[in-house]
Structure 1
């Protein structure tokens, strides 16, 4: 018996999720896949009413939100395909081997199984794709774990409406009662995270809140896995040759990336390292004449952005390239136009403490780097970890036909140590929903840099490995049986092969 300190309302939620866990874990992957597709179809079917609510609560545009609904539905369907393929189970079979090189080997079979009930804390800036039915929720359900969503306070009505869609679709698909719940309030979310029946947590948001939740998960009597996607400034490096080749194109792409969704994206390029004396600043200023203002998500975010913007503009050596601005209406909603500033590398170094922190909104900093600077050394000097790092090259540099190829290779190698995704000649905003995607990175980008919150590998965050030794077939999970009724990939180590291990490398 688990002793609970939850309110009666939250106790009902957690106990229902815990009761549903064994039955949900036992559902066939194909059945969960059909349920997830049913949820995706229902979400798209309710798109118009949900987008109307989201526009009112978040200030995001109809086009942005409609596209986000589609992205969310596509992501759900991608996880359904992953369930059907079965690779996420990582099924491994070592056949019994009486002649094993270290002595007789038993039959050992290993597979990934659902953790149990998981709480997911929704994000503010993606009211669909990282909220009630976003990537974390999709991965949790795909893994076979009951899901409790803590709604974000920035879009409560939308959260309730989306949850209603999810509950109806899951029930219609025959999923067990109790596999999906929505709760409101920070205290409710923390109380559930502390409950012993909760086996994992996920979060998308600020470093401060993410760290608080991660510490709670780690300090429980029985610590649990916690995946938080937190802060990222997504540095960009642009070579002189790339600027000479296509300055106007780079300027336009940069401004689109910084201003999109009012810069309230975890992948916004916050810092761009450019050669000192280049004419990219002028190209950016010329391209930024008519950028429209955009409402920020809410008054608290707008006020934080205004304060951060003021601090950056007040730092020594910082000068506006595009001044931008922010105004507050009678409801204290903030309306911003993009601000682009430039600073020398020396001044950036002198004011790192004031400049390097993320500005959540439409602001980005151009750092002017003297010729001969070791670009690869700049990453560890300023950053711990980021979601992305980007390099813009000329056509010749991209082909490896220039004298600086070794320097650029060193830069890319440095980026791979501190980001989860390295981009070339593109912009970090826009995270493709596809199996190979990596949306994660070293702290403080995430709390676990071996995981991702986008792409099919995201499912494994909510699974754990179990091995079965000398198990009769009737007691094996379907993925580990010799007849392989699920048709999943099985990595098989047959008897006899241990005697040849390493021989091909002599």
Structure 2
């Protein structure tokens, strides 16, 4: 399949121009011009999505599942084009793009299978009790219903799995909600190719064209207009704390506030307990180095902080970590802006008297090298800025004097996507003390593993208390993510002809 980028927006089946253009900034290869979005396009896309909801929101589960599978197939049909433009725009290696494409198509098919089973509808029926005294009880039936058009913001660090046809889009479509995507300006070409795949799936399955629109980036007005549009009923977002919080506030300040499902940042701390450190300090250091530097540290589950007991085992752990980091070469970051922010983050650590440099490098341009610092537990607790995310391969070792100090740090932590405990059998009592504390801080708890790598399965929770995400009761990965775009509705005494088809006997 030969593909030429149009640089336009896809709005309800039409490829449209915008207000001027912006140029992509690829890591390598040619730059391309893309139309800048505007408020008029947002209005048109939202109105088309509302029109599509009249039919798509009431389509059968089989029809929606067929649509999701068709999108997956059309993405695979454009595999080479997606990999080519994706590697150019992001600098990610071919194998990473291929793996992410498989995750994207896999979750579309997983969601199709899930909605066909129907359990997610949480159907409940309380039969009528006409003879009940002192008053009869009516028949009441409950089912989960789609909420309406959803806005999705593409993520910079996942051009496929968290962007145009990524998890938020797939979950909303599975729930029965049309989607308006604001593409990320870091990979607009990748977004356009995927949008063509969705357009082809719409035509193949006969779905209303308003079910999906892509409005490219280039203007903050697009995002602000999207989250404030009265026809948009929820927002899915993955990005920075600053940008996400601003959009969250706009959603909350609307005449009709709407849910903002934002994933905003996490340092994913690890607690390395004494017996585990005695047994395998060197191996833990090597494992952390590999996880910390994977993908230039540009994963939301990147483990940025290791809390260890002070002593010789901590020395062994750090020596192994530094030796492993020294073998890591320069890696290309996703955007110039991300690279600059990483360099500034390293500078903040270097400029603090409280943080001791263990391995400090100098990154330049769009390339990144790893950095490692150390601090005592009491100084870490006194400087909250050291517990804030630096997006990239920067690690911080926190040396503590006791398990009690570990508990104190656990209580002071902000919300996280993940928290990890490394332990052996002799650490069980300490782990039991930590677990009730850490369970309140994260959506996913790990033992003896590293958090990079998020399985797309029924049991996954990818979310956590603020600021990891803005809704601690939700997940952006796994089949439970569909629930974000549903609401329960009770039907009292409705004849079968009026009930939703999925609720009838």
Normalising by structure 1, what TM-score?
0.89
The aligned residue for residue 366 of structure 1 is 397
Q: Deviations over 1:335-355 (max 9, x none)?
A: 1111122111133233x2331
Task: Kindly report which structure 2 residues correspond to 1:52-63, keeping only aligned pairs within 5 A, or say none.
Answer: 52-63=84-95
SS at match of 2:384: helix
Deviations 1:225-278 (A, max 9, x none): 110011111110001211221223212221111101110111000111011022
Match of 2:270 in 1: 236
Note if 1:436 corresponds to 2:467. Answer: no
Given that 1:316 and 1:347 are in contact with CA atoms closer than 8 Å, whether structure 2 keeps it comes out as no
Q: 1:320 deviation in Å?
A: 2.8
CA distance in 2, matches of 1:379, 1:435: 28
Instruction: Give the distance between the partners of 2:289 and 2:447, measured in 1 at CA.
Output: 17
Q: Distance in 2 between matches of 1:241 and 1:147?
A: 50
CA distance in 1, matches of 2:96, 2:480: 26
Match of 2:414 in 1: 384
Residues 300 and 406 from structure 1, CA distance in 2 versus in 1: closer, same or farther, beyond 3 angstroms?
same
Q: Would you say 1:23 and 2:55 are equivalent positions?
A: yes
CA-CA distance at 1:7 after TM superposition: 4.4
The answer as to 2:328 corresponding to 1:291 is yes
Deviation at 1:100, TM superposition (A): 4.8
Which secondary structure state, in structure 1, belongs to the residue aligned with residue 363 of structure 2? strand
Q: Give distance in 2, aligned partners of 1:40 and 1:353.
A: 43
Query: Is 120-129 or 340-349 further displaced after alignment?
Result: 340-349
Assess if the C-alpha contact under 8 Å between 1:36 and 1:80 holds in 2: yes
SS in 2 for 1:35: helix
Higher relative contact order (CA 8 A, sep 6+): 1
The answer for unaligned runs of 5 or more in structure 1 is 1-5, 329-333, 397-401, 483-506
Looking at structure 1, the residues matched to 249 and 186 of structure 2 have their Cα atoms a distance apart, in angstroms, of: 24
Aligned match of 1:354 = 385
Distance in 1 separating the partners of 2:444 and 2:49: 35
Measure, in 1, the Cα distance between the counterparts of 2:133 and 2:300. Answer: 51
**Please, what TM-score do these two structures have when normalized by structure 2?**
0.89
Where do 1:10-409 residues align within 5 Å? 10-100=42-132, 103-185=135-217, 186-277=220-311, 278=313, 279-328=316-365, 334-350=366-382, 352-381=383-412, 383-394=413-424, 396=425, 402=426, 405-409=428-432
Match of 1:454 among 449, 453, 477: 477
Alignment deviations for residues 322-341 of structure 1 (CA, whole Å, 9 cap, x no partner): 3233112xxxxx21111122
Equivalent position of 1:490 in the other structure: none
CA contact (8 A) 1:146 1:180 kept: yes
Separation (CA, whole Å) in 2 of partners of 1:101 and 1:275: 66
CA contact (8 A) 2:381 2:409 kept: no
Whole-angstrom distance in 1 between the partners of 2:143 and 2:385? 48
1:420/1:438 contact within 8 Å kept = yes
In structure 2, the residue matched to 1:496 is none
Counterpart secondary structure, 2:404: coil
Distance 2:297 2:212 in 1: 32
Cα deviation per residue 1:90-130 (whole Å; 9 max; x = unaligned)?
Answer: 11111112355774211000111111111101110001010
Deviations 1:8-31 (A, max 9, x none): 433322221111111001111011
* Deviation per residue, 1:395-436 (Å, 9 max, x gap): x2xxxxx3x533311211111101000001001110001111
Relative to structure 1, the CA distance from residue 208 to residue 100 in structure 2 (aligned partners, 3 Å threshold; closer, same or farther) is farther
Distance of 2:173 and 2:145 partners within structure 1: 13
Per-residue CA shift, 1:436-490, capped at 9, x if unaligned? 10000000011100000001110011111111001101111122111xxxxxxxx
Rounded to whole Å, the distance in 1 between the matches of 2:273 and 2:133 is 55
2:497 to 444, 464, 474: 474
Distance 1:205 1:102 in 2: 56
CA contact (8 A) 2:41 2:215 kept: no
Measure, in 1, the Cα distance between the counterparts of 2:69 and 2:279. 45
Distance 1:375 1:7 in 2: 50
Give the secondary-structure state (helix, strand or coil) at the position aligned to 2:364: strand
SS of structure 1 residue aligned to 2:326? coil
Instruction: Say which SS state the counterpart of residue 30 (structure 1) adopts.
Output: helix
Q: Is the 8 A contact 1:315 1:354 kept in 2?
A: no
SS of alignment partner, residue 267 of structure 1: coil
Q: What is the alpha-carbon distance in structure 2 between the residues aligned to residue 8 and residue 375 of structure 1?
A: 53
Give the gaps of 5 or more residues in structure 2: 1-37
SS of alignment partner, residue 178 of structure 1: helix
Partners of 1:288 and 1:476 in 2: CA distance: 61
Do 2:301 and 2:452's aligned partners in 1 also have CA atoms closer than 8 Å?
yes
Once residues 240 and 133 of structure 2 are traced to their aligned partners in structure 1, the CA distance between those partners, rounded to angstroms, is 52
Partner residue in 2 for 1:423? 446
CA contact (8 A) 2:423 2:431 kept: no
**Aligned-residue offset at 1:62:** 1.1
SS in 2 for 1:227: strand
Please say if residues 205 and 231 of structure 1, whose CA atoms lie closer than 8 Å, have aligned partners that are also in contact. yes
